[in-house]
């Protein structure tokens, strides 16, 4: 039973399109995140949510709009895709906002390729 699951695993799309990535966790965690891993494998936080509320937005272009319908789900919608958006996007969760002493659980990643 997958703890953090993302769909789709692969996404190939043309420039200018709009796409969504879905994430669900069945761990009962309060906090969820989106990370971007670029072609050089650098991992950077994009958004952090706590109990469905957006808490951290790390200067991500507003073409990226996360949505959390409930605390088990965190989706990422991307408008007007650009070549530079090509990356692997990871969803993750942790028990609570201040749980700095517990590992974050990662989804398997979504490899987005914009052509």
Partner 1 sequence: AQKITQTQPGMFVQEKEAVTLDCTYDTSDPSYGLFWYKQPSSGEMIFLIYQGSYDQQNATEGRYSLNFQKARKSANLVISASQLGDSAMYFCAMRGVVTNAGKSTFGDGTTLTVKP
Q: Which residues are near partner 1 by CB under 8 A? A: 31, 33, 35, 40-45, 48, 50, 55-56, 58, 88, 90, 92, 94, 97-106, 108-109, 111
Rounded to a whole number of angstroms, the minimum distance from the CB of residue 80 to partner 1 is 26
Of 16 and 98, which CB lies nearer to partner 1 in the complex structure? 98
Among candidate residues 30, 25, 12, 9, the one with its CA nearest the CA of residue 89: 9
Rounded to a whole number of angstroms, the minimum distance from the CB of residue 37 to partner 1 is 9
Q: Which residues are CB-neighbours of 98 under 8 A, at least 6 positions away?
A: none
Of 14 and 42, which CB lies nearer to partner 1 in the complex structure? 42
Q: Which residues are CB-neighbours of 8 under 8 A, at least 6 positions away?
A: 21, 110
Of 58 and 82, which CB lies nearer to partner 1 in the complex structure? 58
82-102 per-residue burial string, b: 16 or more CB within 10 A, e: under 16: eeebbbbbbbbbbbeeeeeee
Rounded to a whole number of angstroms, the minimum distance from the CB of residue 16 to partner 1 is 27
């Amino acid at each position: 039973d997958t703890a953090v699951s993302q769909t789709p695993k692969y996404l190939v799309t043309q420039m200018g399109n709009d796409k969504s990535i879905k994430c669900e966790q069945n761990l009962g965690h309060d906090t969820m995140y989106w990370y971007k891993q670029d072609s050089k494998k650098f991992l950077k936080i994009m958004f952090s949510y706590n109990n469905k509320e957006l808490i951290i937005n790390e200067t991500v272009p507003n073409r990226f709009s996360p949505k959390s319908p409930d605390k088990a789900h965190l989706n990422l919608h991307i408008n007007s895709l650009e070549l530079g958006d090509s990356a692997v996007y990871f969803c993750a969760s942790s028990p609570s906002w201040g749980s700095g002493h517990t590992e974050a659980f990662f989804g398997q990643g979504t490899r987005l390729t914009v052509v």
